[in-house]
Amino acid sequence: MAEDIFDLTVIGGGTTGLFATYYASMRGMSVKVIESQSEFGGKVMQFFPEKRIYDVGGFPDIFGESLVYRMIDQARRHEPVMITGEWIENIEKRTDDFRLRSSEGRDHYSKAVLLATGNGTFHTKTAPEWEALPHPTFRQQVASHLMHKERYHNKRVVIASDNKVGVGWALYLKDQASSVTVVNPNETFHQVKDADLQALLDSHVTVYFQSSLTDLQVVDEQLEYVQLLDKDQQIVTIEADEIVTFHGLELQQTPFADWGVTIEKGRIPVKGDMATNVAGIFAAGDIVQYEGKTNLIASGYTEAITAVNRAHQSIDPKATEQLYSTVIYRN
């Protein structure tokens, strides 16, 4: 079977990777983007979809979720191949291209590679009792972020969290949902600011401390209620439509050493061309380091442009170093 070799494969589908995907396809390159999470959007999707962002050009302010949606739409314009749920564990440099192998055993082939991975993939921890609860298929689909926030509008929401993140969710959802209940197995929340905790306690949100979930009632994959054991060892039943959970993070680090990519102090050192030490592999976004580097969404865009243009020239020396979009789209 003939190998389908792309001009560029972008590893990482956060904001930098999505823009790199769009820009490379705009330049006429065949492009594939591979994201290890189940959704595109990276840190914006995972950590602040419900927050406003004020430092992206062209938007006086924009919710993180809206930015992700717009970037996905933009990335899709020239119909690149977009893959979620695959973790690339091996990159092999061949004579004229690279073979990328995922942990799922799938092979991808590319003339050049752009790393937009950050340090890796963050996986959300759950409460100790989570795996003992019924309905495993439902539990696997429970959200650990607030993307698709419309699903919580006028709904009865349970937040299972011992972290400041859960407090932030509750303060956001208290005016969106019909009811919000927070279940915390501890006496307080990790890393929470006193003002935020007081705002939570002064609100109409119901908070159960030193409590653990004991049961979920799910019918046709729709949550109907949760049960918990409170600090007085009493069983409490809470009617609910949605549940979200956050008990901290675990980082699955990108295997740069296995790929032969040099790392210094947790970052890939690059110069102005965004090239790594491996010919044909470029990098952009939070993972790169150079003098004057800033870890901003907008910074990732400019780095992606440079990386794509240099990758283009690496596979086609006759390629123009840059092109204006007004020229590309003039017809």
Token digits of residue 7: 């001009």
281 is annotated as contributing to ligand binding: no
**Measured distance CA(153)–CA(172) in Å, rounded:** 11
Q: Is beta strand 120-124 parallel, antiparallel or unpaired with respect to 249-253? A: antiparallel
53 assigned ligand-binding residue: no
- Is 48 marked within a binding site? yes
174 is an annotated ligand-binding site residue: no
Q: What is the DSSP string of 2-32?
A: ---EEEEEEE--SHHHHHHHHHHHHTT--EE
Residues 183 and 206 sit within 8 Å (Cβ to Cβ): no
19 is in an annotated binding site: no
Q: Residues 13, 35: contact at Cβ < 8 Å?
A: yes
Residue 254 annotated in ligand binding: no
- Distances 284 to 106, 132, 180, 244 between C-alpha atoms, Å: 24, 41, 39, 32
Whole-number Cα distances in Å, 264 to 139, 221, 256, 276: 38, 46, 11, 12
> Annotation-wise, does 9 bind a ligand?
no
Residue set of the binding site? 16, 35, 43, 48, 88, 122, 286, 326
Residue set of the binding site for FAD? 16, 35, 43, 48, 88, 122, 286, 326
